[in-house]
Amino acid sequence: MSARDVVITGIGLVSCLGEGAEVHWKAFEAPSLPPPTDSERFAPYTVHALPEIDWTLQIPKKGDQRQMELWQRLGVYAAGLALDDAGLKSNETLCTTMDMIVAAGSGERDKEVDENILEATLTRNDAEALINEKLTNDLRPTLFLAQLSNLLAGNISIVHKITGSSRTFMGEEGAGVSALQTAVARLASGQSTHTLVGGAFQTEHPDKLLAYELGGYLHRGPWQPLWDRHAAGGGVITGSGGAFLVLETREQAQARGARIYAVVDKVASSLSSRADGKLAQDIAALVEALGAEPGRLIISGASGAPRPTLAEQQALATHALRGFSGLTGHLKEAQLPFAVALAALSLSNGRAPGAISDTETSYDGTPDVVLATAIGHHRGEGAALLRKA
């Protein structure tokens, strides 16, 4: 035990399952299958869509809501839940000195321009000239100014008055890994005392699905359990959601009498080549480097993409896997923060989430160490080791 242990004192979660740490723990403790999905709006693709949310509960001003797109509202809302959960929302001193590290993609693209470009590619072979033409004539510069990834951090700062240092990472699951790894390193080294870290992703817009489909990643048809999809070719089912964590040094958390969910012991990342067939070996090495012994509980951020999901399943076959995106959908930048939140809830509640399919082995013990993973659907791998507080 050390005064600089990095501890989790606040959890903010939003997904198709609802909002808040308690709601999500109940949903994962006794999974109800199939989970909430929508297979009609974006057929033949299935998505995990958001339920109705009263945004005013965390974003009181209508003007603030109007100038945010859904992905930004999701992040600001989840951040507010985490601050409330940590008991910091009304602490002006700690909010104004709190650091913030966000994992975010960009906003919604211009759907009509995307459709025009795709249609033009069917009859033209001059791709470079076509792109230059569209950039010059079709795209509005103001559109991009409204979609900058660091606007999520900016809106969190405006709404929740978080005015310490701010960093934004951009780039699929790897952004969430880098955000968490940086936050933990800064806290452990004494460069920070309390940090808000997390990400958000919304899938309910055609361009979000297009990005996956251009790589051939999406699952077609109705929902299927995560680990069982590869028998039919695999595929990602995306979801809308957000996950934010309040991380503090143990010294500060204890000084203010905060509840501690868990200790974040270590975070590791890698960037394996997906072309050499060694991904399973690299995942096993990543987990081994964190010190996770066989038989541990692992909250997996597996996406459902065939190759990396199967590789993770093979690499971690000696552990008790729980693939959370089977219930929430793939949340991209928010994958690792969400997995870490569920791992912390498992430790604080003293039991594992329920199995989501027959493929997931039972875990009847009381976990004292839990691993959280995020193996990118396209690139990048990360994992965090949490232990009981």
pLDDT in tens, 167-199: 999 989 999 999 999 999 999 999 999 999 999
Is the CB of residue 313 less than 8 Å from the CB of residue 301?
Answer: no
Q: Among 236, 197, 262, 314, which Cα is nearest to 25's?
A: 262
Domain 6-109+148-262 has CATH 1.20.1260.10: no
Q: What span, in angstroms and rounded, lies between the C-alpha atoms of 77 and 156?
A: 9
Do 69 and 107 form a contact (C-beta atoms < 8 A)?
yes
Q: What is the CA radius of gyration of the chain?
A: 20
Identify the H or E element spanning 17: none
C-alpha to C-alpha distance for 363 and 351, rounded to whole angstroms? 8
User: Helix 111-120 and helix 127-137: axis angle, to 10°?
Assistant: 150
The structure tokens listed for 354 are 């329920």
* CATH class of the region 265-388: alpha beta
pLDDT tens track for 123-136: 888 888 887 887 77
Going by the DSSP 8-state scheme, the letter that residue 227 receives in this structure is G
**Per-residue b or e along 148-161, where b marks 16 or more CB atoms closer than 10 Å to that residue's CB:** ebebbbbbbbbbbe
What tens digit of pLDDT does each residue of 299-343 get?
999 999 999 999 999 999 999 999 999 999 999 999 999 999 999
Do 48 and 272 meet the contact criterion of CB atoms below 8 Å apart? no
108 burial (CB, 10 Å; 0-12 / 13-18 / 19+) is middle
* Statement: residue 148 has pLDDT above 60: yes
Query: Closest Cα to residue 60, out of 147, 158, 164, 148?
Result: 158
Q: Quick one: which of 275, 383, 284, 370 has its CA closest to 337? A: 383
C-alpha dihedral over 93, 94, 98, 104, to 10 degrees?
-110
- 378, pLDDT greater than 60: yes
Task: Give pLDDT, residue 30.
Answer: 95
CA distance 333 to 337: 8
